[in-house]
Amino acid sequence: MREHDTGDRLNPRSKVLLDARCRTSSWHVFQVELADFCEGGCRILGGAADLAEGQAVKLRIANLKPITGTVRWIRGADAGVEFHAALGRGTVASISAQYELG
């Protein structure tokens, strides 16, 4: 991994706060808030009770196609998700422009 001023991440994080829907199965869908968004993943705020490390998830964000990923860590009520396919920089820039925290 390369070092950035934001830690040891491959991609710098955007400090955002946005609503999304998280699907863990065909019948289990729930609302979550996302933060620390980047090309390779995001942090789910307060939704860890419904998740487990290694679990596959599908996130529905704004008007984007569903984003698939895997829960990589759980800390307290938060969870980290790694996307299966990296998002384009334009997609991340658009999300950041709309939902970035000042």
**What's 12-32 look like in SS3?**
CCECECEEEEEECCCCCEEEE
pLDDT tens digits along 23-46: 999 999 999 999 999 999 999 999
The dihedral over CA atoms of 31, 8, 85, 83, expressed in degrees to the nearest 10, equals -20
pLDDT at 62: 82
- Those residues with Cβ within 8 angstroms of residue 3's Cβ, 6 or more apart along the chain or in another chain: none
In angstroms, rounded to a whole number, what is the distance separating the alpha carbons of residues 53 and 80? 9
Residue 51, pLDDT > 50, answer yes
Name the DSSP class of 75. E
Q: According to the model, what pLDDT value does residue 99 have?
A: 86
Instruction: Tell me the CATH number for domain 18-99.
Output: 2.40.10.220
Q: What is the mean pLDDT of the chain?
A: 87
pTM of the model: 0.85
Q: Residues of 11-26 as b/e, b for ≥16 C-beta within 10 angstroms?
A: bebbebebebebbbee
pLDDT score, position 70: 98
